[in-house]
Amino acid sequence: MSVLIINQAEVHQLLLMEECIELMHMAFRALAQETAIAPLRPIMKLPDKRGVVAMMPGYSSGPEALAVKIIAVYPGNLGTAYDSHQGAVLLFDVDDGRLLSLIDASEVTAIRTAAASAVATELLAHQTAEELAILGSGVQARTHLEAMLKVRNIKRVRIWSRTAERAHAFAEREQERFNVEFEVVSEAKQAVLQASLICTTTAAREPVLLGEWLSSGTHVNAVGSASPVMRELDTAAIRNARLFVDSRESAKNEAGDFLIPLQEGAITDDHIVAEIGEILEGSAPGRTHDDETTVFKSLGVGIQDVLAADHIYAKAKDLGMGTEVDLGGLR
């Protein structure tokens, strides 16, 4: 049985941001329409809090596709030669269960996460948003910059990172890719004051974004934390905003940004306004007036990886990319 191996560089070539944004529209709609299966991911924690291993299966009925992403998350890899998120997406034939492809998960995760934030930004951020603040300077900062530029006419970008050297390196590198003004700041507060669009892409365990810093009308994509005991936004930032999620089930089990204020009694379960798919389907409102603050809490859902993998595989077959390997499976 032949399996197509698609490496990280090939994923980058095959999964273009504008294509992935459309795929994330499909993924959110599938969740809202209940035409997808995307169970809550099981997570195994390793000793000494070194990292976790997560499994994210999913099934789509249109287009019909079946896949599972297995990924190891090691936050301590920041600043090393290795991504913090490493693993593979396994794409299966829906009819007979054959393993069709093994696809690098680092790049899939990087691109589809930012593309999901782009969909939320389309729905929730001001049409005139042109001041972008990015907290963080890693992989998700890179892809979120590209994604935000796809959906809004961004003119100025302020970057903050815990490590000034990495922030400056990020700004210098991205300045060569995009024709926008970059500014590196020494404090997170400086980055977000007066920003109309904010992306938090850090590995922080404690809040790096405070509600008192947010201007009215700001939209925040909160991406970095995916643990019940970690958060990037403080209680005031969540309490004073209209909160949107990719999946209520995921948010109520994994989102420290939501669960910690809930445990404090600052908010209730119904503080989650809607899933993004519900806005797309018209069953829930998005932004209702110019002055409200909105937050999209992103955790990632398996159906996003399924649709991305299906797209990558089909495109690779058409273009003759990837490496065929005989892996077995015949009887």
Q: What is the CATH number of the domain that holds 158?
A: 3.40.50.720
Q: For residue 331, is it within any domain?
A: no
User: Are residues 176 and 322 both part of a single domain?
Assistant: no
Amino acid at 64: E
Where are the extended beta strands (E) located within the chain?
2-6, 36-37, 43-45, 52-61, 64-73, 85-92, 99-104, 131-135, 156-160, 181-184, 197-200, 219-222, 242-245, 272-275, 294-297, 323-326
pTM over 0.85: yes
Q: Are residues 33 and 161 in the same domain?
A: no
- pLDDT of 71 reads 95
Q: Tell me if 165 is assigned to some domain.
A: yes
**42 vs 3, 53, 235, 291, CA distance in Å?**
26, 8, 27, 39
Residue 130 lies in domain = 113-297
Q: Rounded to whole angstroms, how far apart are CA atoms 171 and 183?
A: 7
Written as six digits, the tokens of 179 are 């024709």
- Please tell me the predicted confidence (pLDDT) of residue 263: 98
The answer on 37 and 123 residing in a single domain is no
Is residue 118 located within the same domain as residue 101?
A: no
Is the same domain home to 254 and 127? yes
> Could you tell me if residue 200 is inside a domain?
yes
Do 285 and 310 have their domain in common?
no
The CATH number linked to 54 is 3.30.1780.10
* pLDDT-flagged residues of the chain (< 50): none
The answer to whether residues 68 and 128 belong to one domain is no
Round to whole Å and give the CA distance between 57 and 90. 9
Q: Do 67 and 146 sit in the same domain of this protein?
A: no
> pLDDT tens for residues 57-105?
999 998 999 999 999 988 888 778 888 889 999 999 999 999 999 999 9
DSSP 38-99: -PPPPEEEPGGG--EEEEEEEEEETTEEEEEEEEEE-GGGTTSSS-SEEEEEEEE-TTT--E
Backbone angles phi, psi at 156, to 5 degrees: -135, 140
Q: Which residues pair with 110 in a beta bridge?
A: none
Residue 64 lies in a domain: yes
Beta carbons of 312 and 68 less than 8 angstroms apart: no
Same domain, 183 and 277: yes
Q: Angle at which helices 17-33 and 105-124 pack, to 10 degrees?
A: 70
Beta strands 36-37 and 43-45 are unpaired
Kindly state whether residues 57 and 33 are assigned to the same domain: yes
Residue 29 covered by a domain: yes
Here the tokens at position 305 are 């990886």
Tell me whether residue 209 is in a domain.
yes
Q: Between vectors from CA 38 to CA 37 and to CA 39, what angle results, nearest 5°? A: 110
The candidate with the shortest Cα–Cα distance to 201, out of 230, 217, 221, is 221
Of 297, 316, 209, residue with least CA distance to 259: 297
Within-domain flag for 77 = yes
* Angstrom distance (rounded) from CA 189 to CA 182: 16
The total of structural domains in the chain comes to 2
Residues 154 and 268 occupy one common structural domain = yes
The answer on 235 and 124 residing in a single domain is yes
pLDDT at 331: 67
For residues 313 and 315, give the distance between their C-alpha atoms in angstroms, rounded to a whole number.
5
pLDDT of residue 152: 97
